[in-house]
Amino acid sequence: MHNIESLTVNVLIVLGAGLIAGTICKRIGVSMLVGYLVVGALIGGGVLNLVNQQDHELEVLAQFGALLLLFAVGLEFSLEELMRLSRYSMIGGATQMFLVAVPLTGVCMAFGMSLNAAVLAGFAGALSSTVLVFKALAEWGLTASPHGRRAIAILLFQDVALVPLMLLVPLLTHQGEPPTITTYLLLALKSSIFLAALIGCRSIVGRWIVPSLAGLRSVELVMLFTLCLLGGVCWSAFQLGLPSAVGALAAGIILSGNRLSRQVDSIVLPFRESFSVIFFVTIGTLLDPSMFFQEPLLLTAGLIGMLVLKSGAASIALKLVGLQWKTAFGMGLGLAQLGEFSFLLISEAAGLGLISRDDYNRMLFIALGTLILTPQLIRYGLRWTERSPDEDLHGMQHRRDSAVSRHAIVIGIGLIGRQLASRLEIMGSEVRLVDQSPINLHGFAQQGFHTTAGDARDPDILHRAGAENCGLCIVSVPSDDAALQIVTALRGINHDAEIIVRCRYQGNVHRIMKAGAAAVVSEEAEASKAMLQWCDRAVGPIE
């Protein structure tokens, strides 16, 4: 009972600290991941010592959080997207990882780390944050731009490379005699068996199980099946001598690309976010802030060196896949941070004794520093990429001298907004989409639409979306007050566009028309009209 009470208290402290840190970071515009790591260091043994980890129960929950993160990556993984960007992914991704991992491995060995530890640290340092970069590109409406697509291709390569890196960890931590050729062959055989089973399971799940679950229309059964699949694949990977993390990634891939993928993602989301907080705060508790005061020059030099190395490597990689140097460097700054899975690899190695506690603290400090600077670097770098001449046929080439009437913007990507966007695209319009949720835009961004995540009441968001060049603006948001403010903002930057608005209540039509809308469709009026027609059919015409 004492263990349960201790675990409960620790979890409450971690979640409460994460809530406070996340709220502060959201207010000041900093990545919440930074807040989780910092607050973890504060409540850990190095400062306040609020969290007791003598029995390591919290670490078990943190590991489960890491598995859910990897499961989410697998769920979002798109083989079709990888193939579509393969010409950028293979060249750019391999170049970026090689140019970071090799020098970083050499530097780590020069500072006394073993070869195995240095290799793992080098590859961990080569990974960037897919979440942060994609979110920034979506907010600026650049996911379909030439430099945005190439950056996403490099990040996809890193996601794929995570699998062999996780397989590499057990070999690098091999105790006793060093691995022989037989060890590698055995690992290759086990990996091949696991890959074949993954392909078979994906086919079976997509062809038979998913249609059956969809027909039952039960969220509980979908959740239970997801948990059973996740646990079963992780256990199978463990039985084959592979890391459980590879199993979690594979479970996500098995469920990706079918009609239940989005539902599974939405069901798992609250659990994933909660356990992710535990994972990153727990990593932060292992950080000793006093070390910075012991080695300030070394850690500062390490941070600057890491930023220079990663941004330089990414710039070269982006140049090799067709960007000009200015654009490549601007986008390279956005890839200079260490990613979420860098922490996963580092913590895995530290837990297995491959990396010493001091080296682990140094790596965490440097990684944390890159994440703190990431928003500013991305914002500065993306300014270098604006109006770049590096456009190709697959990019979004919206120029002022093009026919404005062919450009349309849809604000609010709910059911109505999605249908309108698809219809306009079929009719030959260049469609731009705006929504507050990057999740709603993700599918359209993958299809090549110009997407911008943000509040359309902000003129800056409308400028990013190119609303001033659109001949047709459609506002489909659930709030009439928000629609009114959006129309006002649109008229402030575009006096000639035809604005069509959806509103809920008939009483607000006049206000929205007065603000500048050309047409307003009232849900209340349309519903009333439809119901009257049904009444006429049911009762018959009045004689």
State pLDDT tens for residues 501-514: 999 988 888 889 88
**What is this structure's pTM?**
0.67
In whole numbers, what is the pLDDT of the chain averaged over residues?
A: 83
Higher pLDDT, 91 or 60: 91
In the block, tokens 């996601």 appear at 159
Dump pLDDT digits (tens) for 207-243.
Answer: 899 888 888 888 889 889 999 999 999 999 888 877 7
**At residue 2, does pLDDT exceed 60?**
no
pLDDT at res. 386 = 56
Pick the range with the lowest mean pLDDT from 119-128, 155-164, 379-388: 379-388
SS (H, E, C) 234-282: HHHHHHCCCCHHHHHHHHHHHHCCCCCHHHHHHHHHHHHHHHHHHHHHH
519: left (phi over 0), alpha (psi -120 to 50) or beta: beta
- Quick one: tokens of 182? 């037989």
In the block, tokens 């969290």 appear at 51
Instruction: Tell me how crowded residue 183 is: count the other CB atoms within 10 A of its CB.
Output: 14
- Quick one: tokens of 509? 């039509």
Residue among 270, 301, 346 at smallest CA distance from 37: 346
Q: Three-class SS of residue 440?
A: helix
Give the residues across from 450 on adjacent strands. 432
Distance between CA atoms of residues 213 and 199, nearest Å:
20
Do 117 and 180 meet the contact criterion of CB atoms below 8 Å apart?
no
412: left (phi over 0), alpha (psi -120 to 50) or beta: left
Higher pLDDT, 496 or 123: 123
